[in-house]
Structure 1
Amino acid sequence: MSRSPQTQDIASPWPLHAWYVAAAADELADRPLGRTICGQPMVFFRGAEGQVVALEDFCPHRGAPLSLGFVRDGELVCGYHGLVMGCAGRATAMPGQRVEKFAGIRRFAVIERYGFLWVWPGDAETADPARLHHLAWAESPDWAYGGGYYHIACDYRLMVDNLMDLTHETYVHSTSIGQKEIDEAPVETLIEGEQVVTRRFMDGIEAPPFWKMALRGAGLPDDQPVDRWQICRFTLPSHVLIEVGVALAGKGGYHAEDRWKAASTVVDFITPETETSHHYFWGMARRFAVADSALTDTIRAGQGKIFGEDLEMLERQQANLLRYPERRLMKLNIDAGGVRSRLMIERAIAAEQATPVDAAA
């Protein structure tokens, strides 16, 4: 049976007509990269002009993963029997064989921008570059960025929940960014355009260890009271960008001049792999000491440790949910950001499938 180059499942637990981060650009070197995105095995490689290509990770000869092959002259050579696949998803050559009538494989729309590879899991013909998430900090010399990647064995929506309710910092991250004032500060949840936003402001508090380090990196004292903020912004399909920072108390808090604060954007790109696993691309873009590469490394190491603590909690949470699927979970006021983000995801899926979603769900 031949495989349609554009076949996709009708039902899906994630939006398909959207841009997801598939990889950091520097992950793709001279070998193909295999990665499952939204339940679809894909292979990424660079064509003859250096452009990124994304194909179905399936050799039409015997079904071997093309990601186990190699790149030659900008084409992908299957590592099993040597079938050569071109950038359009059609076989172009094979030792001792004619391949013109071989069925093609699916090609995915892909864009390289902002230091990442973005893939559109839906039909390539529907891919709209204008819908790519704009990252102003990635284009400005006034920002520095450092980040990393985790593969996490849990539903991608559990990570969205985690990031849209930072109450857990007091408990999961007690030695780095957590503090009791997070619990005590009121949290506000609202819709701003196409974003779900949760935010907290904490004035006149002691900075936790991570932010004391950041204050020193910004050339500011770490032993004075600070005003702290957390503004979490969810956008489809599954991106969470969080404005975080501290300013010396009484200098204007979130609106303080740069000379009085250490301000950053925590970057969270959450890409579904399967219904119980996802790719997590994390990082921090900062607006202070941007030329200090040693500080970038220090922040990356600290942030990696923090997110590693999330990883254990989320994977064990997923295991519990699978073990007790019949149990109903509580919904508290602190869950509003995650609940509204999930509703936005459900509505996007419903719009693709042309079915209604109950707004009261």
Structure 2
Amino acid sequence: MFCKNEWYVAASSDELTNQPLGRQICGERVVLFRGADGVSALEDFCPHRGAPLSLGYVEDGRLVCGYHGLCMGSDGVTHSMPKQRVERFPAIRRFPVIERYGFIWLWPGQAELADEKKLPALPWAESDDWAYGGGLYHIHCDYRLMIDNLMDLTHETYVHAGSIGQKEIDEAPVNTQVDGDHVITSRSMAGVLPPPFWQMALAANGLAVDVTVDRWQICHFTPPSHVLIEVGVAHAGHGGYHAPAEHKASSIVVDFITPETENSIWYFWGMARNFKPGDAELTASIREGQGKIFAEDLAMLEQQQRNLAEHPKRRLLKLDIDAGGVQARRIIERRIAAENNI
């Protein structure tokens, strides 16, 4: 159902404080904690009685089980237990983990295949010229439904009518390209009025909001389940996507979709922008607005998942607007087959 020999976002860095965090990733129950060697990830299973280690605490850089006090090192080896001999306890599984870009990335597959070079490159996350704000939703749906949703933004006209939607979106032609394992779906709309969210963004960038704009949406899918979307508006007649910064407001919608189970996901969403990066109030305002937008997706996707579960044999129709999601699914299927030597 999903690739395991990949890097997935397991948590945002600020989620992991001085307490362990339990999370299920691609069907694997893991506990994340900040130990003596930085962030560590182990299977969430105490070798003594099977209690979840995520219900324990961190002490002196080690993870202590909250059931009987077993003390576990970041390498998965039992260190000690009050008044007990534990030298022969088997080590539990350790997962490769990397903290970068403000996220904690976990490799749920074969540890020996984990390659740091396979992490996605996110230059905006390492630049002072950009600001980022985001959040996390737990959604009960197949992760591929979220990919479908993000690779076809036609739904904005209907699901997000009060914020980013407008009729011109579903009237604009869709272009889909595939470059290896990279799928790109794009739309552009010339001479349209900016919807409420983009009026706010234009105003924040010191630009007029009562004029027509050229708008663009460029969706990028890369395995295992990452979607980054270049979005923006520019005052009409200044070059659209290529307009100088003083005539536009643009950003990158960040979507890291991490499967929890076959029918549930951890959805890390956010927006990176390169205008007024030092304005914390603007970052908070955009985060709040974007959170409401994605909550609308959550409601739709969970009900869609319910319908599909109740009618597993119903044939779904595919149109040209679905090409991005279809191509992304083909890549996922190909990689799953390769991973399982099918």
TM-score range, shorter chain: over 0.9
Contact 2:36 2:74 in 1 (8 A): no
Residue 223 (str. 1) matches residue 176 (str. 2): no
State the Cα distance separating 1:192 from its structure 2 match: 2.7
Look up the match of 2:92: 105
Look up the match of 2:142: 155
Q: Which amino acid aligns with 1:335?
A: D
Between the aligned partners of 1:192 and 1:139, the Cα distance in structure 2 is 26
Deviation string, structure 1 residues 322-347 (Cα, Å, up to 9, x no partner): 11111111111111000000111111
Residue 178 (str. 1) matches residue 165 (str. 2): yes
Deviation string, structure 1 residues 149-195 (Cα, Å, up to 9, x no partner): 00000011100000000000000000000000001100000013431
Q: Which amino acid aligns with 1:340?
A: Q
Q: Which amino acid aligns with 2:304?
A: Q
Look up the match of 1:27: 15
Name the TM-score, length of structure 1 as normaliser.
Answer: 0.94
Residue 326 (str. 1) matches residue 313 (str. 2): yes
Q: Which amino acid aligns with 2:2?
A: W
Look up the match of 1:93: 80
Between the aligned partners of 1:345 and 1:84, the Cα distance in structure 2 is 39
Query: Does the residue aligned with 2:50 lie in a helix, a strand or coil?
Result: coil
Query: Does the residue aligned with 1:299 lie in a helix, a strand or coil?
Result: helix
Look up the match of 2:326: 339
Give the one of 285, 308, 321 matched to 1:298: 285
1:275-314 to 2 correspondences below 5 Å: 275-314=262-301
Query: Does the residue aligned with 2:249 lie in a helix, a strand or coil?
Result: strand
Residue 46 (str. 1) matches residue 34 (str. 2): yes
Look up the match of 1:17: 5
Deviation string, structure 1 residues 69-88 (Cα, Å, up to 9, x no partner): 00011111100011111111
Look up the match of 1:349: 336
Between the aligned partners of 1:234 and 1:164, the Cα distance in structure 2 is 7
Give the one of 122, 125, 129 matched to 2:116: 129
Look up the match of 1:247: 234
Query: Does the residue aligned with 2:269 lie in a helix, a strand or coil?
Result: strand
Between the aligned partners of 1:346 and 1:183, the Cα distance in structure 2 is 28
Query: Does the residue aligned with 1:281 lie in a helix, a strand or coil?
Result: strand
Between the aligned partners of 1:199 and 1:347, the Cα distance in structure 2 is 23
Between the aligned partners of 1:249 and 1:193, the Cα distance in structure 2 is 34
Deviation string, structure 1 residues 37-92 (Cα, Å, up to 9, x no partner): 0000000001124x000000000111000000000111111000111111110111
Give the one of 119, 125, 134 matched to 1:138: 125
Aligned residues: 342
State the Cα distance separating 1:97 from its structure 2 match: 1.0
1:173-212 to 2 correspondences below 5 Å: 173-212=160-199
Between the aligned partners of 1:244 and 1:275, the Cα distance in structure 2 is 30
Query: Does the residue aligned with 2:296 lie in a helix, a strand or coil?
Result: helix
Query: Does the residue aligned with 1:263 lie in a helix, a strand or coil?
Result: strand
Give the one of 149, 156, 172 matched to 1:169: 156
Q: Which amino acid aligns with 1:129?
A: E
**Please, what is the CA RMSD of the aligned residues?**
0.7
State the Cα distance separating 1:140 from its structure 2 match: 0.8
Between the aligned partners of 2:180 and 2:5, the Cα distance in structure 1 is 19
Deviation string, structure 1 residues 232-272 (Cα, Å, up to 9, x no partner): 00000000000000000000000001111001000000000
State the Cα distance separating 1:289 from its structure 2 match: 1.4
Look up the match of 1:82: 69
Runs (5+) with no aligned partner, structure 2: none
Q: Which amino acid aligns with 1:115?
A: G
Between the aligned partners of 1:326 and 1:342, the Cα distance in structure 2 is 18
Between the aligned partners of 1:192 and 1:300, the Cα distance in structure 2 is 31
Q: Which amino acid aligns with 1:141?
A: D
Q: Which amino acid aligns with 2:143?
A: Y
Give the one of 42, 48, 61 matched to 1:61: 48
- Paired-residue identity, %: 68
Query: Does the residue aligned with 1:71 lie in a helix, a strand or coil?
Result: strand
Between the aligned partners of 2:277 and 2:212, the Cα distance in structure 1 is 24
Q: Which amino acid aligns with 1:24?
A: S
Query: Does the residue aligned with 1:145 lie in a helix, a strand or coil?
Result: strand
State the Cα distance separating 1:96 from its structure 2 match: 1.1
Give the one of 87, 90, 105 matched to 1:118: 105
Name the TM-score, length of structure 2 as normaliser.
Answer: 0.99
